Amino acid sequence: MPALESVQELSQKELEERGEQLRREGIVIRTYDLWKTYIMGDQEIHAVSGVDINIRRGEYVAIMGPSGSGKSTLMNLIGCLDTPTKGLYYLNGKLASDMEDDELARIRNKEIGFVFQTFNLLARATALHNVELPLIYAGVPSQERAERAQAALRAVDLEQRMLHKPNELSGGQRQRVAIARALVNRPSILLADEPTGALDTATGNEIMSLFARLHGEGNTIVLVTHEPDIALHAHRIIHIRDGKVELDEPTPRSR
């Protein structure tokens, strides 16, 4: 394998071989010298500046840093919502940093389950219908769709509430619906941006227990947070500052 510095000069074939190797090694996320630069007037803002990260299947990782450190920008790159200015990003062995918008949308639907601070549920739809939505986009037939959505709600202990609409559910229950929706496509990664940010402490802890259980069941989880208490639920913390990885350390839970 070539050294990291020369990875930008690899041929198409070498890039593909590298992706194959990452997939064989069970590395779901791999970035090489990843940059995202915004131009604001005559100023360049390096929101992500040269990030190398490596996340294996089954890991539970928190990306933590102060406001403005580049967490959301990095999450948008990892989640294929945005493309880097420079550098390589392999998602499950595929070179996402080279993809056009439609291909990115496809890989995003297949590989990534998103959980947001404010749940982002359809207000007029039942919990069941909200969880079915990604399956509708994926073209799953209706019978199978209903069964899989119901199973996903069962996995977050919400089967009893599946015909309720979001305004008939508590904040914690809404976030559990959003988690069921994120998981229903069986994604390679569950990507959560401040998932407890809109919840009180007790409810936030409930959600963190659910993440712990989902991790125990084999899911790969990447959590973005500015709160050290929340990050400590993960097994590894990647500290971000000024768009760079400052520290990458295991937590006591990894033992």
Note whether 72 binds Mg ion by CB under 5 A: yes
Note whether 239 binds ligand ADP by CB under 6 A: no
Give the nearest distance from C-beta 45 to Mg ion in angstroms: 14
Q: Which is nearer to Mg ion, 90 or 114 (CB)?
A: 114
Note whether 225 binds Mg ion by CB under 5 A: no
Q: Which is nearer to Mg ion, 71 or 181 (CB)?
A: 71
Note whether 97 binds Mg ion by CB under 5 A: no
Contact window for ligand ADP (CB under 6 A) among 67-75, 97-105, 165-173, 195-203? 67-75
Give the nearest distance from C-beta 231 to ligand ADP in angstroms: 13
Q: Which of 73, 173, 188, 225 binds ligand ADP (CB under 6 A)?
A: 73
Residue 67 CA, chain-centre distance (Å), reads: 19
**3-state SS record for the chain:** CCCHHHHHHCCHHHHHHHHHHHHHCCEEEEEEEEEEEEEECCEEEEEEEEECCEEECCCEEEEECCCCCCHHHHHHHHCCCCCCCEEEEEECCEEHHHCCHHHHHHHHHHHEEEECCCCCCCCCCCHHHHHHHHHHHCCCCHHHHHHHHHHHHHHCCCHHHCCCCHHHCCHHHHHHHHHHHHHCCCCCEEEEECCCCCCCHHHHHHHHHHHHHHHHCCCCEEEEECCHHHHCCCCEEEEEECCEEEEEEECHHHC
Note whether 38 binds ligand ADP by CB under 6 A: yes
Note whether 63 binds ligand ADP by CB under 6 A: no
Note whether 69 binds ligand ADP by CB under 6 A: yes
Note whether 87 binds ligand ADP by CB under 6 A: no
Note whether 137 binds ligand ADP by CB under 6 A: no
Of these partners, ligand ADP, Mg ion, none, which one is at the site of residue 70 (CB under 5 to 8 Å by kind)?
A: ligand ADP
Task: Please identify which residue in the block is written with the tokens 């071989």.
Answer: 17
Q: Which of 50, 58, 68, 172 binds ligand ADP (CB under 6 A)?
A: 68
Residues that bind ligand ADP (CB under 6 A): 38, 40, 45, 47, 65, 67-73
